[in-house]
Structure 1
Amino acid sequence: MSVQRLLIDGDWRLPLQLIGAFRAEDPTTGEPIGPAFPLCGAADVEAALSAAAAVADELAATPPERIAAFLEAYAAGIEANADALADLAHAETALPKSPRLAAVELPRTTNQLRLAAQAVRDYAWTQPVIDTAAGLRAHRAPLSKPVLVFGPNNFPFAFNAIAGSDFASAIAARNPVIAKAHPSHPATSERLAQIAFAALQQAGLPLASVQLLYHFDYTVGARLAGDARLGAIGFTGSRAGGLALKAAADKAGIPAYVELSSVNPVFLLPGALAERGTALAQEFFASCTMGSGQFCTNPGVVIVPRSDAGDAFVAAATAHFAAAAPGVLFSRGVLEHLQQGVAALREAGAELLAGGTAGATGYRYAPTLLSVDADRFLQEPKALQTEAFGPVSLLVRVRDAQQMAQVAQAFEGNLTGTIYSTDDGSDDAAWATVASALRPRVGRLIGNRMPTGVAVSPAMNHGGPYPSTGHPGFTAVGMPAAITRFTALHCYDHAPEHLLPTELRDRNPGGLARLVDGAWRTDDLPHGTP
């Protein structure tokens, strides 16, 4: 059987243990496309893990300038191959080449890589702290172990295991990465890995710093996730898959940063509806169906008052959904899970307002809108929060702001929560009531915007309480905060000053902001400070 090669220990090699093979599929037709990629066995996983572990200390000691040079060379290489990459990703995902892939996601990916390089150069992610009286100095440092990264199906560039935020963050922290590509876009991942490997050689980093595996089965993945030689795991995908990996990692004490699921509730306050309800219906429909709804920040539940303005919003939104053509989904698996999710919502008491049917060819599903009364939602909150990953949303009809708050309190942890209000102050009391209940349940609280946009910013939190992620204190987007997931906190107690890491020494040549005796400073400390 002829299959593509794996990138292991600086070599593009055929699998040592070929378990099977798979091909990408054209989501518009369901037909296989492109070459066959290997489903590898335990021997290949072991080879990659051993190689990564062997270079972990060397990479941890690599000068930051070489790490930054790799990240920047990789970004430049992606840009030089932009057309070919966009063509590959379009064929494998059916996402529009323009503007989505070429003008939005690919620039976001190269921007992330360059922001990571900047964080490497200015040591921002190390967060140095100095206590001169106690003789203590601490900072964040490399794990000196490999990081295993699983990429999702919905972002072939920006969250790709070999190019996305988790990858950039782990490399910026000077950890080797074993990238597990998503089977929905293997050729895209292969091309990115080829560009990454060329940049790796150009920067002179250890050749096993970046490795690529396309796919392996559950038992092999669980064994790898629980191997004590790993330093951490970054995962974006299904709740079931992420929790299985996390369970294996937990047994071995390996941190697993998993992004699992989110319905991203949107609350429409009375004043906002009365002021611009028709426009909000269009905004909601556009957000829910963007990319066929295959975003982790898709507005999956919208809370709407029972009022004339609320009824008008529902009627307008229903008309938009009913008139829309079925959207193309990434794979048969996504379609099947979406159908199961809609069925679960209906079984829990949701009424179908529009859509609810699969397309005739390929992996398509009609934009779907459902509705349920708040009293019913509060009786079945878990079932009615079932994530339907696709162009699907549930309307929850409430009596007043107090019931809105009750609904907010019933939500599981989510990546985002949105509240729409007016500027004239008439919604302020309702905002305070709803926000008080919603704030502890979301990572990012949004005002007057749909949640689908995720800015790459140091202030961004793309994380949230469980089960949106496995830990509420970390973000998968935004440098330098995203880098800290893949670090260890190192403390030095009266260590010789001249033997300390650069950012903890008395001299501060880069003007790095350091917390010294409780105050932020950028200057040098007097030589010989305890």
Structure 2
Amino acid sequence: MSGEFAMYTAPVLIAGEWRQAAESGRFQPTNPSTKETIARLYPVSNWHDCEAVLAAAAGAAATLRAIPAETRARFLDTFADAIETSADELSLLAHEETGLPLNPRLRDVELPRTTGQLRAAANAARDGSWAQATIDTALNIRSMRGPIGPVVIFGPNNFPLAFNGLAGGDFAAAIAAGNPVIAKAHTSHPGTCHKLASLARQALEQVGLPSATVQMLYAISREDGYKLMGDKRLGAGAFTGSRTAGIALKQVADSVGTPFYAELSSINPVVMLPGALRERGPELAEEFAGSCLMGSGQFCTNPGLVIVPAGDDGERFIARCGELFDGSQPGTLLSAGTQMGLQKAITELREAGAALVTSTTGADDTRTCVPNTLLCVSGTGFLQAPEAFQTEAFGNAALVVVSENTEQTAAILQQLEGNLTGCIYSSTTDVDEEAYNALAPILREKVGRLLNDKMPTGVAVSPAMNHGGPFPASGHPGFTAVGIPASLTRFGKLDCYDNVRSHRLPPLLQDHNPLNAWRSVDGNWTQGPVQ
């Protein structure tokens, strides 16, 4: 690194201004496809920067409460337009920093998903139905969800656009609900975050929202992260990442009563019933292997555990999956840290007693990758150490559990922690109905999204989607990180107005509000606009 380059670090975005950070260190990202350091330097901010973003966000929150929802909606639409205008540059940046395929993954799939979420959130802000306005005319009591206050967002490494703290689902929901965002960029893709922050800043200026509505720090120390999450000026926190880091932040948030919405860990169990394997075993092996290895397995909904029946059909399924894993080139992992984490998880599963089905060859030393890995354990073995066998192997690895019968499968499911998803494959006839009826109620209690005959990898942006689940899949089973308008409710507090004069009420609670609200006149409740 030249002396001239060493003097420059990328600025942070605080209160609408690009500033040189108050540094406690610096870092450089690495291109995981080549293991080469990217020639850009970024700061690790100290508490001085954290204090500055908190103060600015608190001021912005007070101003935002008085700004019409239409202005927030125009910001989200304008930002989406700007992202599309810079689509090629953004996609190339994300590709360089994460190793994710440029096409179709980033440019043709993830980027349109990102702008679609922003526009859906804009529509939700305009519609106002997310706020659940409720008007009791007889008692003159009214309530609705209002902004909760500044939201700090810790984005993940595996979706540099669609879950980015500066443009993803949490960001869109927080802004649409009327809150300023403090984004902690991910150190795996800081350049992508910088570009998104620049576009957001321009959009804020264009529509006239407070300059501190969107702020960004690239990195902070663990201690400052805890201190930030524990600051009482925050309204809420949102986190997607490792279980260890998420739980530590949640404990801090809980200690001061700050809502904290976290996506933490999920192995997304898949149950193959006997009739399904007997009927279409080879096709299901193709489907399972394809889902496991898609994107190098770096999806929070990647199926990391599959339960198959003992016997010839189960053995053929395992053998075919092993062939498919061995016959596919290992994908590039997001970072050296991801590689180390996956290797550690595989080692822990093997030490617990899982047998290796696949070979240990195929890795490429010139990039961050691990051989495609399929492991296997008996149902009895799983039940002897259920916690160890639920170790999340984030990446291109999966564990097969061979179950002796429906009763043992039920016992295995009973031992599962909370997960984002769970799936049961069954015969197209009724031969698996008895087993399904015995197992589905157990699995239903363990997951946020229950699937039939479909791998869980895709997460559709639909109002009906739940991307959450019982702990430790998420920090709260009643909320979703995907699905608008439901995802907005995380960032709204319930505001009640009792006998408040009409002209002092928020527009959504006034009698002649044209938008949808629950209204009671003489005790008869109806939903809809005033007729």
TM-score range, shorter chain: over 0.9
Aligned length: 522
Question: Distance in 1 between the 2:335 and 2:364 partners?
Answer: 13
Bigger shift: 515-524 or 328-337? 515-524
Letter of the 2:165 partner, please give it.
A
Cα shift at 1:272: 1.0
Q: 1:312 to 1:518 in 2, by over 3 A?
A: farther
Out of 187, 204, 207, the position equivalent to 1:203 is 207
Cα shift at 1:212: 0.8
CA contact (8 A) 1:324 1:366 kept: no
Letter of the 1:432 partner, please give it.
N
Cα shift at 1:34: 3.4
CA contact (8 A) 1:130 1:136 kept: yes
Cα shift at 1:374: 0.5
Structure 1 stretches of 5 or more lacking a match? 526-530
Out of 386, 389, 393, the position equivalent to 1:384 is 389
SS at match of 2:40: strand
Question: Distance in 2 between the 1:429 and 1:83 partners?
Answer: 52
Letter of the 1:113 partner, please give it.
L
Question: Distance in 2 between the 1:275 and 1:499 partners?
Answer: 65
Cα shift at 1:359: 3.4
Write the mapping of 1:142-153 to structure 2, written as runs, cut at 5 A: 142-143=147-148, 145-153=149-157
Q: 1:468 to 1:10 in 2, by over 3 A?
A: same
Question: Distance in 2 between the 1:356 and 1:188 partners?
Answer: 34
Letter of the 2:161 partner, please give it.
F
SS at match of 2:291: helix
Cα shift at 1:92: 0.5
TM-score (norm 2): 0.96
Cα shift at 1:134: 3.8
Letter of the 2:268 partner, please give it.
N
Question: Distance in 2 between the 1:515 and 1:245 partners?
Answer: 40
Alignment-derived partner of residue 527 in structure 2: 521
Letter of the 1:11 partner, please give it.
E
CA contact (8 A) 1:4 1:38 kept: yes
Alignment-derived partner of residue 514 in structure 2: 509
Q: 1:30 to 1:229 in 2, by over 3 A?
A: same
Question: Distance in 2 between the 1:131 and 1:362 partners?
Answer: 62
Alignment-derived partner of residue 353 in structure 2: 349
TM-score (norm 1): 0.96
Is residue 34 from structure 1 mapped to residue 39 from structure 2 by the alignment? yes
Alignment-derived partner of residue 189 in structure 2: 185
SS at match of 1:436: helix
SS at match of 2:490: helix
Write the mapping of 1:69-468 to structure 2, written as runs, cut at 5 A: 69-143=74-148, 145-356=149-360, 358-468=363-473
Cα shift at 1:513: 4.3
Letter of the 1:96 partner, please give it.
P
SS at match of 1:364: coil
Cα shift at 1:29: 2.1
Question: Distance in 2 between the 1:308 and 1:513 partners?
Answer: 58
CA contact (8 A) 1:352 1:371 kept: yes
Is residue 43 from structure 1 mapped to residue 55 from structure 2 by the alignment? no
Calculate the aligned-residue CA RMSD, in Å: 1.3
SS at match of 1:365: coil
SS at match of 1:327: coil
SS at match of 2:8: coil
Letter of the 1:18 partner, please give it.
E
Question: Distance in 1 between the 2:413 and 2:266 partners?
Answer: 14
Q: Deviations over 1:294-343 (max 9, x none)?
A: 11000000000012211111111011112222221111111111111011
CA contact (8 A) 2:134 2:517 kept: no
Letter of the 2:386 partner, please give it.
P
Alignment-derived partner of residue 501 in structure 2: 496
Q: 1:515 to 1:270 in 2, by over 3 A?
A: farther
Q: Deviations over 1:467-498 (max 9, x none)?
A: 01111000000111111101100111222233
Question: Distance in 1 between the 2:519 and 2:189 partners?
Answer: 44
Letter of the 1:159 partner, please give it.
F
Write the mapping of 1:3-22 to structure 2, written as runs, cut at 5 A: 3-15=9-21, 17-22=22-27
Cα shift at 1:132: 3.5
Cα shift at 1:370: 0.3
Cα shift at 1:425: 1.6
Question: Distance in 1 between the 2:238 and 2:175 partners?
Answer: 12
Alignment-derived partner of residue 528 in structure 1: none
Q: Which 4+ runs in 1 deviate beyond 4 A?
A: 355-358
Question: Distance in 2 between the 1:480 and 1:395 partners?
Answer: 37
Letter of the 1:92 partner, please give it.
E
Bigger shift: 52-61 or 71-80? 52-61
CA contact (8 A) 1:34 1:187 kept: no
CA contact (8 A) 1:293 1:389 kept: yes
Q: 1:129 to 1:365 in 2, by over 3 A?
A: same
Alignment-derived partner of residue 3 in structure 2: none
Question: Distance in 1 between the 2:434 and 2:39 partners?
Answer: 57
Q: 1:150 to 1:430 in 2, by over 3 A?
A: same
Letter of the 2:278 partner, please give it.
A
SS at match of 1:46: helix
Cα shift at 1:247: 1.2
Letter of the 1:484 partner, please give it.
T
Q: Deviations over 1:128-176 (max 9, x none)?
A: 1223444321110011x21100010000000000000000111011111
SS at match of 2:271: strand
Q: 1:125 to 1:523 in 2, by over 3 A?
A: closer
SS at match of 2:28: strand
CA contact (8 A) 1:19 1:39 kept: yes
Alignment-derived partner of residue 4 in structure 2: none
Cα shift at 1:267: 0.4
Q: 1:130 to 1:318 in 2, by over 3 A?
A: same
Q: Deviations over 1:355-383 (max 9, x none)?
A: 45653222111110000000111111100
CA contact (8 A) 2:83 2:115 kept: yes
